[in-house]
Structure 1
Amino acid sequence: MLKLIKFLEIFAFKKILIVLSFLSDFNLTSNSSNLFNQLNLNQIPFISSYHHHHHQNSSSKPLRIAIIGGGPAGTSAAFFLSRLSNQSRNHADIHLFESSNRIGGRVLSIKPFDSDQFQSIEAGASIFVGANKHLNHAAKIFNLSLQDYNQDKSENGPIAIWDGTEFVFEETGSEWWDTLKLVWRYGRAPFQLSSINKQTINQFEQIYKESFISIGPFDSFHEWLSHSGLLNFLPITGSDYLINQKSINLQAVNELAAIFTRTNYGQDISNIHALATLVSLAGKSGRSVIGGNHQIFQHFLNQSQSKLHLNHQIHTISQSNPNKTYSNPQYLLSYHQNSKNLTATTDPFDIVIIAAPFHQSGLTLQNIQQSIQLPSIQPYVRLHVTFIITNSTSPSGELFGKSKDQTVSRMIYSTMMRNVLGKGKRPVFNTVNYLKNLGQKDGVIGDMHIVKIFSEAPVTTGTLQKLFKHEQNLLWVKRLEWDAYPFLNPIQSDFPPIQLTQGIYYVNGFESFMSTMETQTLMSFNIASLITKNYWNFNPKRNWIDE
């Protein structure tokens, strides 16, 4: 959510792409520059035994469905279930429960100075790309206006790569000279990465086609990944894949390719699996919805005509009448409302969809008669995002071992190569990006600029003072943090289940493989299709975007 490459073709001396983020999800950057133009740096198979469902027809009572979580996964699940129930001439009574007071989950935007005077700036899940067909189609049918994520060309400039001790690569602003510098340092790697990018995009495109959809819906993540051809990228790290299987030189992997995984997923390329690395390296044309990407998911929910329950913290799922034998058990949801300690319980539901990270949600399953398969604990990256409004036109060199009055690039991406080799410290940030010129304000000398910093830990005020030369240059600071995406370590066999037990489905297990806005909607479509197949004997053969 910010990713994908369209690297320079050497003989034509095209520009290399800038770091943004693929599919979104929860991965972000901004602007383009000369050299990196548009580079988007944002189990064993679970064999389901739960297919002995009755098939509802149009005269039956509505199938009661509860969805826990109001982010991309939950809202799109409601939307797809509503569409499929209409297409199959069945009825669904859908309820969506969200623990907070808003829809969107980790898709979050802020306004400079917390003022409605300014346009929203994406904080989480900043962009999606042209290859993200679900999100683009949704924006189209919902009549949402899009903008290029790097729309403010005035903030573009040379890119720099910082390793915690020195700049290992700095653009000068001269396209020819910067191209020669790039090739001199990284050799053939830009062209190899460009080729990998094209192959990855072609492979991702297959999952939208009728030939793939008609095989499903899939009972397990293993099955989905196997049929999509992505399974073999999970057991190895990104660096292992690029170095040992694609013969890309070590320096290019640990500097050039590494900035994509650190920008998109806040993780080092030596730790993250190859599939997440490919996601980080794939795509172009970063865009966002004017007014905030969260509007897509609000529209998903509105179109579904689901009943929304905000400020409902679901803490327990229990079986209704567990001592009785049912072919189709029903479930009660117990919840706290408005953060109060008092517990209330819903009426029974036929189906529950968990559309939030299971272990972060605090959910427990009680009094379930059938066997249960719970997902393994999945740690999440705690991402720190710092927004700064400053009248400093560029960062100061003081933080980078230069003089206080010397300026550096306005787009800085960090690599951990020196730290990995035991020769230096980790950078204090993942990325520093000037996003937008906000214009002038009374009492402020010069134009105001909004800057976004991603980091593994809070960025101290002292660090910000060094970065922007003087404390008085810090006109506004806003700090956010959240569990942005899972630690995407290589996966050998411990795949999370799609069904925890009969009638209880889990969307967010897919984040272990790809954590983006788009891929959450992909898995919601699969699970919605699985439900309609199991309960109504209705199986869509085409993707909803082709209907």
Structure 2
Amino acid sequence: MQVSCLTICVVIWFSTHLASSQTIKHPLFSPNNQSEQLTTRKRVAIIGAGLAGATASYYLHDSIRELHDIDITIFESSLKIGGRIKSVKYRGRTIEIGAPAASTHDWCFLRAMKDVVLAPKEPDWDWKFHIMRTVGVWNGAGFVSTGPHEPRCSTWWELMKMVWREGRTAWLLRKVSLPHWVEVGKLMWKYGLSPWTFERATLSDLKTWDSFGADLCSRQTHTFGSLNSELRRAGLPGEVLGSAGSYFRSLNLSAAFLNEVIEPYARARFGQNLENVRGFAAEIAYREFFSRSVAVSDGNYRLVDRLITLSRAHLNLNSRIKEIRNGHSKRYSLLSESHSAENTVVEQWEEFDAVVIATPLQLGGIVFDGSLNIKLPLEPSPPFLERHITHFVSEHYPSPNFFNLSSSTHLPNSILTTANNSNIPDIFNIDSIGNVVRIDRAYCPSPWLGEPDDCDATISEGIFRIISSDTIDNQILFKMIGSPSDFEFPFLHRQVWPFVTPAYVNHLLPIDDVELAPSLYYTGGGDDLFSSLEMSCRMGFNVGVKAFFDLDDALR
């Protein structure tokens, strides 16, 4: 009896000891410790699914994925991603109805394409068949200048490399224009030394701009917390950040050269005259017009989609952020408002360790709790002007009569305008951006029993883009192409962009800091400096890497 009792006591003691030892060896299975593990997993919210938000999401995930687990959530108020990027299809042809394409000088856009393995768009058929494109500047009465609109070689050496690679066809078939200095020489014949002075200033200023946001030796690790500090690091002089009109006059450029050559390109790019754009922005507009454009094959929309997909972010469409306040278990608490399929409004609070605002504060409508120490400007930012973009397809090309010219006048492919062109609404640019060839069998009998070439017709349609200050209605389009009022456009799309460019130049950047509060980042400060896809990409790249450094330090 005593032995059996002793045996039972020993068994109970071993069982208790074994159970206690198992609890100590597996602490993660307790509910309390499991919640602790979930709270240590870092969460980042990105507000806006445009190029800036997508770039920030991708480079944050790409930098941190090998070191830590992270959850990225993107909130987009619209039903689609892309922001200012919009791509549509017409008869198999991709038309970019949003922001213009990038150029070969835009290192961030090109890097993003390369990193996510997206191919560039193939050259148009007129490039393949060596058809020379032309550009003209219209002042309301006639064309004050016309010339080739082709990507230019900057030096004779660059032209020789093209001939060496492609043979004599690069020269004989005019696959590239003459070196840019040849065009400068032609302009000097008419405008004196102004083209030479402008060219030298542009080369110097834009060399520094190209290094903005990039450490060319180690781009992976370079970040900046202040726009002004980054401008100083890049070496961009203060004068070129002011009004382009004032800056160019200080260089003693002639009024005729500014009005007939430089300003039309700024108007086509920004819809603004020289007095209301920054000096380096006007220089970029002129350079971009003669640079090789770069777009993603099948649409720039694919770049945003690919960046978000590879970042493994949770995408919440039709969901906007209403309020940001201090969090409890994490740094910030966000109130989101979304619409369900039943059209009911759903509000939800979520907490995040870091927040990236990748949409303009003027459009976001975000309320910041008073307890947050936000670095917002004391003075409001300049109002931003809206621009109207009209795309249409027609077998009828623009008529010279619309421009008060004789019917026999051959119009250039791209038409720019001066500030005194007397158009109402003000038309900044009319551009032929491509062609579509289709087979029309509308007059073939049914059932069709003849030969293939008996009744069909080959129709060439032009794709055109108009940038204007107000709506271009159908009556203006009918007059522009010289067609009757009952003409039906096979494709017609109008888009109003409310946040394109500031109404005037603010010499002090309204929002200089990239980090508005600890771990609360803003990408939109660069829009007051230069609004473009490239600027959005650079700001998103900077914020993504900067957020990685901050989160990595917190986790170590």
TM above 0.5? yes
**Equivalence for 1:132:** 106
User: Could you tell me which residue of structure 1 aligns to residue 65 of structure 2?
Assistant: 86
The CA deviation at 1:335 is: 1.5
* Counterpart among 359, 383, 386 of residue 379 in structure 1: 383
Asked whether the equivalents of residues 441 and 448 of structure 1 are also in contact (C-alpha less than 8 Å), the reply is: no
Distance 1:179 1:234, change over 3 A: closer
* CA contact 2:425–2:470 (8 Å) conserved in 1: no
Match of 1:331 among 327, 330, 333: 333
Percent identical across equivalent pairs?
Answer: 22
The aligned runs of 1:173-212 (5 Å cut-off) are 182-207=187-212, 208-210=214-216
Distance 1:485 1:62 in 2: 38
Counting only pairs closer than 5 Å after superposition, residues 59-458 of structure 1 correspond to structure 2 as 61-87=40-66, 89-112=67-90, 117-147=91-121, 152-153=126-127, 156-171=132-147, 182-207=187-212, 208-210=214-216, 217-230=223-236, 232-233=238-239, 236-244=242-250, 246-283=251-288, 284-320=291-327, 329-337=331-339, 340=343, 342-366=345-369, 368-375=370-377, 376-392=380-396, 394-403=397-406, 407-416=410-419, 418=420, 428-442=426-440, 443=442, 446-458=459-471
Matching residue of 1:20? none
* Secondary structure in structure 1 of the residue aligned to 2:544: helix
Conservation of the 8 A alpha-carbon contact between 1:488 and 1:513:
no
| C-alpha displacement of 1:357 | 0.7
Cα 1:385–1:205 shift into 2, 3 Å: closer
TM-score (norm 2): 0.75
Q: TM-score, normalised by structure 1?
A: 0.76
Q: Does structure 2 retain, via aligned residues, the 8 Å contact 1:411–1:431?
A: yes
Code of the residue aligned with 1:191 in structure 2: it is W
* Correspondent of 1:504 among 517, 520, 523: 520
- Closer, same or farther: CA 67–453 of 1 in aligned 2, 3 Å: same
| Distance across 1 between alignment mates of 2:183 and 2:61 | 52
Greater mean deviation of Cα atoms: 208-217 or 329-338: 208-217
CA distance in 1, matches of 2:236, 2:471: 35
1:378-404: CA deviations, max 9, x gaps? Answer: 422311111121112x42122212346
- Relative distance call for 1:170 and 1:297 in structure 2 (3 A) is same
Change in Cα spacing, 1:351 to 1:141, as seen in structure 2 (3 Å) is closer
Deviation at 1:105, TM superposition (A): 0.7
Contact 1:414 1:427 in 2 (8 A): no
Q: Secondary structure at the match of 2:373?
A: coil
Per-residue CA deviations over 1:248-279 (Å, capped at 9, x if unaligned) read: 22211122111221121111112111132233
Cα distance between partner residues in 2 of 1:59 and 1:268: 54
Aligned partners of 2:48 and 2:76 also within 8 Å: yes
Q: Which has the higher helix share?
A: 2
Pairwise CA RMSD of aligned residues?
A: 3.2
Distance 2:184 2:105 in 1: 27
Is the 8 Å Cα contact of residues 44 and 353 (structure 2) preserved in structure 1? yes
Matched with 1:493 is: 508
After superposing the two structures, state which structure 1 stretch, 394-403 or 74-83, moved more: 394-403
Q: Between Structure 1 and Structure 2, how many residues are aligned?
A: 464
| Contact 1:71 1:103 survives alignment (8 Å) | yes
Alignment partners' CA distance in 2, 1:337 and 1:148: 40
Conservation of the 8 A alpha-carbon contact between 2:49 and 2:83: yes
The structure-2 alpha-carbon separation of the partners of 1:151 and 1:253, relative to structure 1 and needing over 3 Å to count, comes to: farther
CA contact 2:137–2:416 (8 Å) conserved in 1: yes
Contact 1:378 1:486 in 2 (8 A): no
Secondary structure of 1:185 counterpart:
helix
Structure 2: tracts of 5 or more residues without a match: 1-36, 150-173, 443-456
Higher-Rg member (1/2) = 2
Q: Distance in 2 between matches of 1:464 and 1:222?
A: 44
Q: 1:526 to 1:463 in 2, by over 3 A?
A: same
- CA deviation vs aligned residue, 1:167-222 (integer Å, no higher than 9, x gap): 22235999999998744433334433433343244223434235686995322222
Residue by residue, what CA displacement relative to the aligned partner does 1:328-361 show, whole Å, maximum 9, x if unpaired?
A: 6322232132695624113211211110011112
8 A contact 1:383–1:481 mirrored in 2: yes
CA contact (8 A) 1:146 1:288 kept: yes
Q: Which moved more, 1:253-262 or 1:465-474?
A: 465-474
CA–CA separation in structure 2 for the residues paired with 1:165 and 1:212: 52
How far does residue 473 in structure 1 lie from its aligned partner after superposition? 7.3
- Inter-partner Cα distance in structure 2 for 1:285 and 1:459: 29
Give the letter aligned to residue 468 of structure 1. Answer: I
Task: Assess if the C-alpha contact under 8 Å between 1:313 and 1:337 holds in 2.
Answer: no
Aligned AA (2:426): V
Unmatched runs of 5 consecutive residues or more in structure 1: 1-57, 540-547
CA distance in 2, matches of 1:426, 1:118: 34
Give the conservation status (yes or no) of the 8 Å contact 1:99–1:310.
yes
SS of residue paired to 1:105:
coil
- Asked if the contact 2:76/2:316 (under 8 Å) is kept, the reply is yes
CA distance in 2, matches of 1:232, 1:215: 26
CA distance in structure 2 between the aligned counterparts of 1:163 and 1:185, rounded to whole angstroms: 17
- How far is the alpha carbon of 1:406 from its aligned partner? 5.2
